[in-house]
Chains A and B, each alone.
Chain A
């Protein structure tokens, strides 16, 4: 049933894309540029932490730079810094375009973005000072989560008003995912904040709460934003219709229902029924994988996504593949023997990194590549479009290196743990040492991403008064003077 069917009034006329882009320009570019800064921060800190796996004594005299704190900082910088900014920026732009209306209340977005970044910064400072709540994968001190929640509320307010500002015949599936992402974040972080930090439940009860929050943030929040981008850009760039709305809807609801249940380790000190339920949910996750994968495969049938000349399409193709692989790994947790083997190894972290960079970051890089130049007036493009390809290449290679090291070598580590091998330490460190190469590549791609964003802004940010325009004028004036 369409929305129109329930109202007599015709839908408002659709705004033209230029008007929509102009309305998004300030807030979305601010969010994208923040994301680029946070990506460098996340990879830089992560690299520093990983270096400690090679040289344990490196910076060991600084209490603020322990491996645990650096790991927590790196993930917080990625999740709330890079992913939050990029995902929210893309959400606003896509909702505006999908609804055909300019972004409503951009001032709220700017205020929210400032608060959001203040929250992520507060989290980084808090963790460095030892204020993290001890929940790997969440790690938000109370004050940081308050700022993030308020900031997100401001941004979501603008997004919701934009969403309801015009009725459509049909809601495109990406809209469902974006709305779910906006609703899921406050629910997940609110629950974790309340039950783990503000008024913590008893220690034993914190374990399931923490698992749900961490898994939901990854599978549902990041998953929804990333899949929304893939579902939007693959049909758009290939010029095809999405193969099936029904498959998309099935995948969407299954993801929301199962996303918070999956991936509980079989050795977790929790009631057996919750571990069994999680195993069943992991098994059912195969339906999410099939629904999303089959739908997009049929949509892009015959189009080589990775071999495409369009960089956005390449990014989306890789992101889709990465999501399918991590979904397959999630499904693998239905086998408790498999889970028991890998549960204390680097495999979980490697798959998380693959999901974060191979799927989410790649989808965002592709989306930003498409969206950011369109936010400026007139025909603009990336300063050195060739360099942007390196973001794709480096991130892709880094993600694959981490996945292969994480799964292949962690398998050996798991065996060593189960067999009581004296070589267990060596086998634990090996995948992390190889994954270090992947982290170096992530760091390099983040630097290029930041450089590309900076160039784009310098060239186009203020019309005739942009730094590049001023430099060009100066050069021209100099040349004129020289000629005279």
Chain B
């Protein structure tokens, strides 16, 4: 440690280690990330006003009080059967009595049996008695569960039953759009959603390879405060910042996280009112007013507010200017900022960050 050149070289080498690890490595990986993975989750760059709004967000230092980082956490898997396999006994064995005892499961197989009996009845040399017995058995079971559950059972059975027969089996004779949607989207959960992969992997493989069932694995957020309480739909990931000119993940959460503000703040006027004066309309907030981003002029006697005026709702359902006796309209900068904020969304799943189901739902500060 007494040779100056070695100190210099050593310092350079030591610095280069963290430079490589924290700059070159992650930056290369992030730089190589593709916006389009070819799976329908392509991310598009901001354009026009929203892109310029990013500059307004940066100039005003909004990132000191707001983050754009929704965090994740642990999650469990819910196995959702979308179509049962043909072998009832085998499926029962795989999913266990806890789920096989559900009436939806029983009715789905009853529907499969009816459909099979119908097919058999039309075939040459059919066993008419057996077919009748199956139908009677299914009819006897018809009214044992709710219609909606019957629709789900029909959906996961993978068969089609229409007309009078449907009525006899506890299904609507004429299906509404909602009924059709229930059938099409029907799923039957065969796990609690708290199980880890290691706990369910054998069941998943058996359902796929042996029972021939079709299913999907739904991640269920177990302890994700940002998703459960704060309006995010999923975890923020590197790709969310891919097209940002200036990535501003944020410092503190004095204000709410904005990673999905565009997904929950759809009312543009409300957003303007929030930016103009977050306490307007008697709301509780600590955000400073950004009045300089708006045009403000005195209202004339009896003047109607222009269509682009920023308003708040009064208690009796009427709307009044966000600043009583003044007409407040957004400037170019506030329109750009609002467009940027509305572009911040994470309500579309990505392969690396799927939308999890939420176990609890309450959001005390929604829209804050």
Beyond A1-B3, A200-B246, A344-B253, whether A130 also contacts B19 by CB under 8 A is: no
* Distance of B259 from chain A, by nearest CB (Å): 9
Choose, from B58-66, B97-105, B112-120, B164-172, the stretch at the interface. Answer: B58-66
Query: B55-82 toward A: CB 8 Å interface, digit per residue (1/0)?
Result: 0001111111101010110000000000
Q: How big is the A interface, by class?
A: 35 or more
Beyond A420-B229, A421-B364, A428-B253, whether A60 also contacts B288 by CB under 8 A is: yes
A387 within 8 A of B: no
B242 within 8 A of A: yes
A386 within 8 A of B: no
- Please provide the chain A residues from 247 to 286 with a CB less than 8 Å away from any CB of chain B in the complex: 249, 253, 256-261, 264-271, 274, 277-278
Collect the chain B residues with CB atoms within 8 Å of residue A200's CB.
Answer: 245-246
* Interface residue from B18, B246, B362, B365 paired with A424 (Cβ < 8 Å): B365
A269 in contact with B229 (CB, 8 Å): no
B30 in contact with A257 (CB, 8 Å): no
Give bound CA distance, A179 to B60, whole Å. 37
- Please provide the chain A residues from 409 to 424 with a CB less than 8 Å away from any CB of chain B in the complex: 417-422, 424
B10 within 8 A of A: yes
Determine the residue in chain B with the shortest Cβ distance to A56: B288
Give bound CA distance, A205 to B21, whole Å. 13
B291 in contact with A209 (CB, 8 Å): no
* Interface residue from B2, B59, B291, B363 paired with A2 (Cβ < 8 Å): B2
Give bound CA distance, A209 to B7, whole Å. 25
A238 within 8 A of B: no
- Please provide the chain B residues from 8 to 43 with a CB less than 8 Å away from any CB of chain A in the complex: 8, 10-12, 14-15, 17-19, 21-23, 25-31, 33
**Residue in B17, B21, B72, B285 whose Cβ sees the most chain A Cβ within 10 Å:** B21
B47 within 8 A of A: no
- Count the A-B residue pairs with Cβ separation under 8 angstroms: how many? 252
B59 in contact with A277 (CB, 8 Å): no
B148 within 8 A of A: no
Choose, from A31-39, A64-72, A113-121, A396-404, the stretch at the interface. Answer: A64-72
**Residue in B7, B28, B62, B236 whose Cβ sees the most chain A Cβ within 10 Å:** B7
Count B-side interface residues using an 8 Å CB cutoff: 75
Determine chain A's interface SS by DSSP, over half rule.
helix
A429 in contact with B286 (CB, 8 Å): yes
List, sorted by A's number, 11 A–B pairs whose CB atoms are closer than 8 Å. Answer: A56-B289, A63-B292, A67-B65, A69-B61, A72-B64, A130-B60, A183-B12, A202-B242, A204-B238, A206-B241, A260-B21
Known: A53-B286, A183-B8, A191-B23. 8 other contacts (CB 8 A): A56-B287, A171-B7, A175-B7, A184-B11, A206-B244, A207-B247, A257-B18, A417-B253
Binding site for B on A (CB under 8 A): 1-3, 6, 52-53, 56-57, 60-63, 66-72, 130-136, 163-164, 168-171, 173, 175-176, 179-180, 183-184, 187, 191, 195, 200-212, 215-216, 220, 245, 249, 253, 256-261, 264-271, 274, 277-278, 340, 343-346, 348-349, 417-422, 424-425, 428-429, 432
Binding site for A on B (CB under 8 A): 1-4, 7-8, 10-12, 14-15, 17-19, 21-23, 25-31, 33, 58-65, 67, 69, 71-72, 225, 228-230, 236-254, 257, 284-292, 362-365, 368
